[in-house]
Chain A
Amino acid sequence: DAGVTQSPTHLIKTRGQQVTLRCSPKSGHDTVSWYQQALGQGPQFIFQYYEEEERQRGNFPDRFSGHQFPNYSSELNVNALLLGDSALYLCASSLEGRSSSGNTIYFGEGSWLTVV
């Protein structure tokens, strides 16, 4: 059973460029969230997708956008990259639905983005 997979694992971009990061959720999961983790900090919630729509959004500018496909996979797009966008981008998946024990969020290993 594959867990959450992300690609690419590492990439380097130049200021002003655009980047697309990809995520496949854990098998059977239908909800995908994206987090940004700057060096030495905890992750920060970017947004969450369910049924191909953005359901929640954290405090991130519109340069950050996303998409969820019918197979539940997701993309994170960042436009007009800034040096401060350098971080580990984590994808997380979970399953919508009622559970007495709560839904566990599973994380991928992340995509390291360096902006130079």
Chain B
Amino acid sequence: AQSVTQPDIHITVSEGASLELRCNYSYGATPYLFWYVQSPGQGLQLLLKYFSGDTLVQGIKGFEAEFKRSQSSFNLRKPSVHWSDAAEYFCAVGRGSLDSNYQLIWGAGTKLIIKP
């Protein structure tokens, strides 16, 4: 069965420091991979997605993620975090047809805490 693992429940990073959030997935076929951010009062916002092609994906707010098939990973990175990045981050894999009825299978999330 498909599954997504985010090993870190919480991560604390100093403002201005680099960030890497880990995500591992289990999926039999070529995965569709996503990172979403969830902030209070703002719902879930898509940061970036990987469907095919270049394994390094650029997203919004300065985030990027790298798909590594050999490691079944899709880690999220940012070179310098800002206090406004404090939120919960979710990795997800899409199951189904890419152009229509895919559903998302989610990790448990990683809460990012920013130290001033």
How many of chain B's residues touch chain A, expressed as a range?
Answer: 20 to 34
B98: which of A41, A44, A50, A103 is its contact (CB, 8 Å)?
A: A103
Q: Is B104 an interface residue (CB 8 A)?
A: yes
Q: With the chains together, A4 CA to B42 CA distance in Å? A: 11
A48 close to B105 (CB less than 8 A):
no
Chain A binding surface, main DSSP class:
loop
A102 close to B96 (CB less than 8 A):
no
A107 contact set on B, CB distance < 8 A: 36, 43-45
Given A101-B51, A104-B46, A107-B43 in contact, is the A43-B99 Cβ separation under 8 Å?
no
How many of chain A's residues touch chain B, expressed as a range?
Answer: 20 to 34
A-B contact pairs, 28 of them (CB 8 A): A31-B100, A41-B108, A41-B109, A42-B92, A42-B106, A42-B108, A42-B109, A43-B104, A43-B106, A56-B96, A56-B101, A56-B103, A90-B43, A92-B104, A96-B100, A97-B99, A98-B99, A99-B99, A101-B51, A102-B49, A102-B51, A103-B99, A103-B100, A104-B49, A105-B46, A106-B46, A108-B43, A109-B41
Q: Find the A residue at minimum CB distance from B4.
A: A42
7 nearest A-B pairs in the assembled complex, by CB-CB distance: A42-B106, A107-B44, A109-B43, A45-B103, A98-B99, A102-B51, A96-B100
